[in-house]
């Protein structure tokens, strides 16, 4: 069964690069994952109509974590903040590994 990984950032721009990097690694490994990015304002709406296993917040929106924790708990979603170094270097492999470990 596919794992759904949602990345949340301020506007969705820089995170889309990270999504692409993560998807390339996932394809190389033949992993059944769906990775997508949304802005902080879109995230709550997206959670209502799309199943999500792991929600990862970009470092610039880490302040939103408390807002989403209750919603995540109700929907059995694991929530985490992306490591600042991994985000800054757009290290898709490390972020994907973290997401997969959280989804276990």
What positions carry a catalytic annotation?
9
Q: Is 90 left (phi over 0), alpha (psi -120 to 50) or beta?
A: left
What order of strands is seen across the sheet that includes strand 33-39? Answer: 33-39, 3-9, 54-57, 78-81
């Amino acid at each position: 069964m596919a794992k759904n990984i949602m990345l949340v950032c301020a506007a969705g721009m820089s995170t889309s690069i990270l999504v692409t990097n993560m998807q390339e690694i996932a394809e190389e490994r033949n992993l059944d994952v769906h990775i997508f990015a949304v802005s902080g304002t879109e995230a709550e709406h997206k959670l209502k109509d799309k199943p999500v296993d792991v929600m990862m917040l970009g470092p610039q929106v880490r302040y939103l974590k408390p807002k989403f924790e209750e919603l995540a708990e109700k929907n059995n979603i694991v929530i985490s903040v992306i490591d600042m170094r991994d985000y800054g270097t757009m290290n898709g492999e490390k972020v994907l590994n973290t997401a997969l470990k959280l989804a276990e």
